[in-house]
Every structure is written in C-alpha cells, then in structure tokens.
A and B are shown apart, each in its own frame.
Chain A
C-alpha cells in the first residue's frame, strides 16, 4: 500500500508531498501525540497519525524517515510547518476524522502496528 493509495482510500486532503514521495510503500503505522513516544516507537516508512501540527512534527517525521503524517480532527497547518514539510519533502495529509477512526480505517486496509 502506497501513500497515494491511502490518500485515495481515506479521502485525505494532501497539504504537502511531491509525486515521488507519494509512491512510497508504507511499512506500518504508529499513532501518538507524544513526540518522544513516536521517536521510540515509529519505524522507517511508517504512517504516523497525530493531532499535533507544528514544525517539530516534521522534524520527527524527517529524522525517522517516515512515509507520511496524517493530522486528524481538522487541525490546520501554520505557514512554518507547511514550509518545513515542503523543504523536507514529507507528505502531510489532513482529515476531519479522529485519530481512532483513521487508525481503524488504516487497519482495515491491512496496515499493521508491528513492523
């Protein structure tokens, strides 16, 4: 399952992400709003689901080489975060739905927590 396929399947709004990053295959998923937990628990190529939306989210995604970040509950990105996501090439996807709903949909698509 690629980033693009997740965007289509969940009807996500794509805030950032170049075409070449959207074809990346997702290795698994992780959900948390605590950055240190993400640092300890998310793996290379994972999709990360969170309602945090600030520049450090992008830093974490970049350092862990995550496939994409899904920001839930209608949180919008500020200019700083958008700019940083573009610079690092991280696909950031937005949804009105809750983290729980997004994660359960991802699970239905076969995305697992273990990696």
Chain B
C-alpha cells in the first residue's frame, strides 16, 4: 500500500499551533527550581547563577514567593558596584506568575507581551511548583511532536504490514458492520470506521476520500430504504471491495434508480437532507467499478470496487 508522506508547510505549522493549546504548562516546565532568599547578597546570587548555569530565579521568603531576580538585575548591580546589597533591593517584586494547569499558549502570549525571560509556575494553592522559560516551551513542543509522531508511526507501521506479516496465497481483511433500518442516530458509523481502518492501513488520502463518500452513500441507502442490512469491506493489498447488502424490499426499477435526481425517499427524510437522488450517482463517480443487483421482496446487493494503488 502507498504510504502517506510529505506534510505541507501549512499543516506542520498548524500542528505546532495545536500543541501549544494542547500542552499544559506543568508538562513542559522545569520542576527542580533553584531559588534564592531575599536576604542573600548580589555576590551570592552571582555564584548561584554561575554554578547552575541559569539566567534568573524566583526569590523565596520561606514558602512565600516574593520576587524574581535575573542576570539583568545582576549586571545593573555590578555596574553600580553594589555586590554587597541584598537581593531584596534589586529584585522585581511585582511578580507575574502562571498556573501549572494553564495551556502553554497563555505563557507564550506573556513572553511576547511582558518581555520577561521566565515565569514562576504555581499550583492551585499558590505554591511554587516550577519555572518556565522560552527554552522549556520549545523543548516541550519538540518532545511532544516526537512522541506523537512515533505513536502514530508505530500504529501505522503495524497496520500497514498486516499483508506482509501474515503469509498466505491471498490475504484479505474482512470488516463487517450491521446497519439498522431508520437508525439515523448511528448513520455513517460504518463508513467512519472503515475510513479509520484505511488510514491506519496507510491508504492514500484521495482514495480514502472516494471510499468514504461511496460507502457513506451505500450505508445511508440501507438505512433509509431497507429493512436493515450489512456493510462488508474486503481489503486486499491492491484493491478493496465494499458490499452493501439488505434484506428488502428491493428496487423496482434499477435503471430509474440510477438516474441522478431520482428518489423514492418520503418527504420527512428529504427534510433531513437525504433523498436528493444523488446517492447512486455519487457512488458511481467514486468507485472504480460498481454492480447493483436487486429483486423485489428479497433485497438489494450493491458491490463497489476500489483500486488501492494510486
């Protein structure tokens, strides 16, 4: 089967945007926070920053966050020869903090708006639980993208190798779905599941789309017009057959049924947007081959063939 490859630039950008909303600050922040006390000197701060290779940290008085101090504050103090003053005098005391359960997008906005390099992260009770820098955000995003890519790759890999891993002279995967008459609530469920299966199997998106459209039309036909039936998908490496079988009442005039715009659907069904008389012609334009058999009283059998090689 053909593998899906090559994401467009637009799609990748969207993926990052999505992740920025999905990820919580708590997932990307640095948890081991180095802190200083407001009574320590600037000289001591210089050593803390140097030894830990950090450019700023929260100032804690006991359990209480009282300020933030950064390399920038340190440089200004050095310029004025104030190595012996306390951190309390040089720190930024109006602190903007973020919450661990907030979405990463909120801190990205703050970085842009306030120009600070780091924000302290608090839990619901106001306790300091971490610190977040722009570096943490980038690292978190990259890690998450890798994890998600791997999970989907593994799932895809396993599914797409079914036909290679299992040896036989001819292997086919059979998927069967029951379709109940007039069950509008679950209409489209079989098509939706078949679509997912084909995605996992690595079929080409354009082919999946054609199969999804045709299968949906066949499924709604069974749902609307029959006493109930079944959708059977038979997947082989090179082609797929979807059959919709029902138990009656059957089509009176097949030729007429195939005409675009012809429908026997009652008004109340048309009001729901069905019964446009386009179903079978949609199927015809989506399937590589189709065959419709019906006999009054016995039922209808619609067979659709799709080539899976693009």
Question: Does A33 interact with chain B (Cβ within 8 Å)?
Answer: yes
Q: A52 with B272: in contact, given A23-B14, A34-B278, A40-B278 (CB under 8 Å)? A: yes
Question: Does B243 interact with chain A (Cβ within 8 Å)?
Answer: no
Structural contact, A63 and B18, CB atoms closer than 8 A = no
Question: Does B171 interact with chain A (Cβ within 8 Å)?
Answer: no
The interface residues of chain B lying within 8 Å CB-to-CB of A40 are: 213, 278, 282, 285
Interface string of A33-59 (1 = CB under 8 A from B): 111110110001000001010111111
Structural contact, B212 and A37, CB atoms closer than 8 A = no
Structural contact, B10 and A25, CB atoms closer than 8 A = yes
Cross-chain contact of A35 among B19, B103, B189, B276 (Cβ < 8 A): B276
Interface string of B199-212 (1 = CB under 8 A from A): 00000010001001
A interface: dominant SS? helix
Question: Does B116 interact with chain A (Cβ within 8 Å)?
Answer: no
Tell me the minimal C-beta distance from A31 to chain B in angstroms: 12
The interface residues of chain A lying within 8 Å CB-to-CB of B212 are: 63-64
Structural contact, B217 and A39, CB atoms closer than 8 A = yes
Bound CA–CA A101/B277 (angstroms): 28
Q: A35 with B220: in contact, given A40-B278, A56-B184 (CB under 8 Å)? A: yes
Structural contact, A64 and B209, CB atoms closer than 8 A = yes
User: How many residues of B sit at the interface, in one of the four size bands?
Assistant: 20 to 34
Q: A33 with B273: in contact, given A56-B184, A63-B192 (CB under 8 Å)? A: yes
Bound CA–CA A63/B217 (angstroms): 11
Structural contact, B191 and A63, CB atoms closer than 8 A = yes
Structural contact, B209 and A34, CB atoms closer than 8 A = no
Structural contact, A59 and B272, CB atoms closer than 8 A = no
Structural contact, A39 and B216, CB atoms closer than 8 A = yes
Tell me the minimal C-beta distance from A81 to chain B in angstroms: 9
Measured CB to CB, the nearest residue on chain A to B10 is: A25
Interface set, chain B 267-291, CB cutoff 8 A to A: 272-274, 276-279, 282, 285
Question: Does B188 interact with chain A (Cβ within 8 Å)?
Answer: yes
Bound CA–CA A36/B265 (angstroms): 13
The interface residues of chain B lying within 8 Å CB-to-CB of A64 are: 209, 212-213
Q: A44 with B273: in contact, given A59-B187, A59-B192, A80-B185 (CB under 8 Å)? A: no
With A35-B273, A44-B209, A52-B273 given, name 6 new contacts (CB 8 A): A24-B14, A39-B217, A39-B278, A55-B188, A56-B272, A59-B187
What are 15 A-B contacts with C-beta separation under 8 Å?
A19-B21, A20-B21, A34-B276, A35-B220, A35-B276, A37-B278, A39-B278, A55-B185, A57-B273, A62-B188, A62-B192, A63-B188, A63-B216, A64-B209, A64-B213
Residues of B within 8 A of A (CB): 10, 14, 17-19, 21-22, 103, 184-189, 191-192, 195, 205, 209, 212-213, 216-217, 220, 272-274, 276-279, 282, 285
**Top 9 A-B pairs ranked by shortest CB distance?**
A59-B188, A36-B278, A20-B18, A19-B21, A34-B276, A23-B17, A63-B212, A36-B276, A52-B273
